[in-house]
Chains A and B, each alone.
Chain A
Amino acid sequence: MKNRFKLLSASAPSEVHTGGASTIHLTDDKIERAEIDKSTRIPVLIYYSSAIFWLLFGTLMAIIASIKLHTPSFLGDYSFLTFGLVRSAHLNAVAYGWGATAGIGTGIWLFSRLCRAKLVNPILPIIAAVFWNIGIAVGIYGILSGDSRSIEWLEAPAYSTPLIFLSFALISIWGVLMLFKRKCAHLYVSIWYLFAGFFWFPWLYGTAQVMLIMEPVQGTVQAAVNWWYAHNALGLFFTPIGLASAYYFIPKIIGRPVHSYYLSIIGFWTLALFYSWNGMHHLIGGPIPVWMVTASIVASWMMIIPVISTAINHHMTMKGYFELLKSSPALRFVVFGAMMYTASSLQGITMAFRDLNKITHFTQYTVGHAHLGLYMFYTMMMFGSMYYIVPRLVNWEWPSSTMIKVHFWCTALGSGLMVGSLTVGGLIQGLALYDAKIPFMAIVSLMQPFLIFRSISGIMIAIGHIVFGVLFIMMILKVGSKQSGPTLLNEVENGGEKL
């Protein structure tokens, strides 16, 4: 470690080393923080365990779907594994199963830390987690057994969705209770993003369920509601949780405050104002009134403001500290995610441009973009958050540096290969589709190598996920010898009581 980066243990005041064991005298802050972390332990670990389960299940679904796209006879005899259903099971498992639970778990921990208050009413998030898991499981079973609604992001049949809504209502209520109990002087930027996400999601989900599943509206109004929901689930739920994590972990890990708090406020409010109008850019050229499409294209371009604000903020905060990427696993994942947020947002903005959209719409380019956002930004950000949070919950250090590095490189390179091959392949597909003289079957053959690359990348990503799953289990079981590190791994004593 370079001398200019002071590690935590070196800076703890009145530190006393006695012989072989090292005990640290605690300040009130350390005790307070340890107690807050301890109060979040059970709910957050329940969410994280669920998240990792659905991540592995969703990855399996992804690989099956990916292989079927280039080798359609693969597992072709099973009606419940037909591509349209396996793909939907994958999306629901990784978005609602992994993404939402990892996000809620991280959000709960961040809420408690930032409110500087112990987690209140843990029964609420625990019951919410149970309902959520049951709802997702029943939903995915329903999809695979022939009850899929075939509405993107809302495939789960009507008998499973009320549980999801109820679960999230409990989380939102819990969030409000925490805010009332808060003891912090100011509300840090991450809390605004989390509060926003926790408030917006039930409204989004409720609207979508009523207008698409329970009392479906007529005709292409369904498409408008569908894409208002799906795009906002990305931008007003996942993105805020991802950004909340970035805004907390980057400064917290490197020990330097956010570069410009003023920019973060601008970024937040412009995101709130513009993002929600983007949805119709999924329907450019489609059978809805043009004014809606144009409004969404304009809103998509206005997103340059929050995206650039956030990018500047993250970069200027990290400037001079990039060496720490070599030494901090959490930072590595978080900064990778933050950079990919900028990349996928800027790419998305260009995709809303009609002249590009007429080439890329309906192609694998869109799928590549979706994974650049939801995987390379959001999932990597969640990995980073979990690498920071889990040791503080279980009072144990990650048992193996090597496994962490395998996880990082498999997922980073795997997702890079996937997004790269789908982006290049998608552009080729789109340009060929745009040329009416090229017969459709020729385009199908053109895509084969890119889809095979994507399956290979899926295997790499799966290896990374399995390694992470093993690491997580090792943490829960406290496998390995006691190690030291700056994540308060030394025995924490407070008048004799071990926390």
Chain B
Amino acid sequence: MNRIPLVFIGLFCTFLFSWLGLVISPFVQFGKLQPYVNDDGEVLPHPLNGLAQQGELVYVANGCVYCHSQQIRPAQTGSDIERGWGNRQTVARDYINFKTISLGTMRTGPDLANTGVRLRDKQWHYKHLYNPQITTPGSTMPPFAFLFQKRPILDGKSSVDAIQIEGAYAPPAGYEIVPTPQAIALVEYLLSLKMNYPLPEAPVE
């Protein structure tokens, strides 16, 4: 073939076809979803408060999505529901409040879509982030000690914000571990992850 215009038109049209189908069509079909208000007046999905929105930025800046997913697949496509990671599959409307969609493609660590339902203890989260070995020995999650501050205990009174760590990972005597604003925001974000409420398009069995 030596006809450049013909080749060009062919390349253009085949690509345009997929661009219309997989980029523009989703934009038209589900690019402007509105929250659902249920009979109790609850707005679903729940909006994120300001601190959780800051936490989302921390989640994105540290690349958490590369080990953790945030999507529950339907029962016939995986055992996510059976595993207790959610009570129904997640749908497009569940994600309209996030600035960066972190669906994830790896489950080096567990799925997080319903962390705010399953793991509500902030202290657990702080310890787990500071060093995952504290709460989950043998975990391969990296330690995020840089999201915490090690500071001397003043006047012998430890701060109310200090996280209680015993044993091998405890700070040296006279020091305490306090979460930085980044860690506080991140945990707030994690606690806001709830996708277990029924929606018209996603009833709970």
Contacts and interface: CB of A to CB of B under 8 A. Distances in A.
CB atoms of A and B under 8 A apart anywhere in the complex? yes
Interface of A: 68-70, 72-73, 76-79, 82-85, 87-88, 146-152, 155, 179, 185-187, 192, 195-196, 199-200, 203, 207, 211, 216-226, 228, 232, 236, 265, 269, 272-273, 276-277, 279-280, 282-289, 292, 295-296, 354, 357-358, 361-363, 366-367, 433-436, 440-441, 444-445, 447
B107 A363 contact: yes
A292 B59 CA distance: 28
23 contacts: A70-B140, A85-B63, A148-B60, A149-B60, A150-B66, A187-B1, A200-B15, A216-B99, A217-B27, A218-B32, A219-B33, A219-B92, A219-B95, A219-B96, A220-B30, A276-B17, A276-B18, A284-B77, A289-B92, A292-B22, A361-B73, A362-B69, A362-B107
A225 B74 CA distance: 22
B146 interface: yes
Interface stretch (B2-10, B116-124, B154-162, B171-179): B2-10
Contacts of A236: 15
A232 to B, nearest CB: 8
Nearest to B202: A287
Interface residues on B, range: 35 or more
B23 A224 contact: yes
Contacts of A68: 142
Contacts of B83: 433, 436, 440
B143 A72 contact: yes
A53 to B, nearest CB: 24
A292 B143 contact: no
Contacts of B106: 362-363, 366-367
A55 B42 CA distance: 52
Contacts of A76: 142-143, 145
Given A146-B62, A288-B30, A444-B139, 16 more contacts: A72-B139, A73-B142, A76-B145, A77-B146, A82-B63, A83-B142, A146-B61, A187-B7, A196-B11, A199-B8, A219-B30, A219-B95, A220-B30, A269-B10, A292-B21, A366-B105
Task: Give the 8 A-B residue pairs with the shortest CB-CB distance, closest first.
Answer: A84-B63, A285-B73, A276-B18, A285-B77, A436-B82, A362-B107, A79-B146, A222-B101
A187 B82 CA distance: 56
Contacts of A73: 142-143
A283 B103 contact: yes
Interface string B73-110: 11011110011100001111111101111111111101
A272 B11 CA distance: 7
Contacts of A289: 26, 29-30, 92
A302 B107 CA distance: 29
Contacts of B55: none
Nearest to A224: B26
A146 B146 CA distance: 12
Contacts, number: 230
A200 to B, nearest CB: 6
Contact of A207 (B23, B69, B73, B108): B23
B101 A220 contact: yes
B122 to A, nearest CB: 21
Task: Indicate the member of A149, A219, A296, A440 with the most B CB atoms within 10 Å.
Answer: A219
Given A83-B66, A276-B17, A149 B100 contact: yes
A277 B63 contact: no
A300 B67 CA distance: 26
A84 B78 contact: no
Contacts of A222: 100-101
Given A88-B63, A285-B77, A358-B78, A82 B144 contact: yes
Nearest to A84: B63
Nearest to B59: A150
A69 B106 CA distance: 12
Given A287-B90, A436-B82, A277 B142 contact: no
B77 A219 contact: no
Given A84-B66, A441-B136, A150 B92 contact: no
B95 A220 contact: yes
A84 B64 contact: yes
